[in-house]
Amino acid sequence: MPDEQGIKRAALKTVAVRLTGAKVLDQEPVLLFATRQVEEILQDVEVRPLPFAPDWLLGLCAWRRQVLPVVDIAKLHGMSFSADRSLYMVIRLVVPAEDEKENSSRRMLRCILKVSDRIAARELPKQCAAAAIEASGLDPALFKGLFAHEDGMMMVPNLLPTLCPPAAWPEPAV
């Protein structure tokens, strides 16, 4: 569809997860993920708890011959949601490799997120206004953006700080 300059652009598809019952800036939060980040949605997983782990880290799970961390996304952000049942989303993050010699090299990080059962595919909302993360009381390092929309508070999570320690974060492109 053409934009205001008449340039034809593809609509970015997202996977929206509504956290029913939670509130962020007096609106119901909706987590947005790019469709390419979501590898699979599972109804149930076998979680092996980790001793001394924070409450948002539910444990580890075997998925396709890999061991992945299972993260309760609502607890990670200090929220809770009410849903008939929870689902589990396998999320993929592509980050630059740690080896600086190989500029084109990337590595894949994965985790499983425990989310509400209110999941829908949708286009990226067009009419929304940026909201101040600091005013929400949420940790700014854990979000790429917050956007007020008539359907709720659209939240784009940043999973990198959750999946790897700050020392392993890639340097920003200059």
The number of C-alpha atoms within 13 Å of 126 and in the hemisphere containing its C-beta is 7
Q: How far is CA 172 from CA 63, 64, 134, 169, in A?
A: 31, 32, 22, 9
* Other CB atoms within 10 A of residue 119 CB: 16
The model's pTM: 0.79
The residue ranges of every structural domain in the chain are 14-168
Cα angle value 147/149/150 (rounded, 5°): 165
| 10-residue stretch averages of pLDDT, the chain, 174 residues long | 52 81 82 91 94 91 94 86 84 75 72 90 77 81 84 85 63 52
As a whole number of angstroms, the longest Cα–Cα distance in the chain is 56
Provide the CATH number for the domain formed by 14-168 in this structure: 2.40.50.180
Q: What is residue 1's predicted lDDT score, i.e. its pLDDT? A: 46
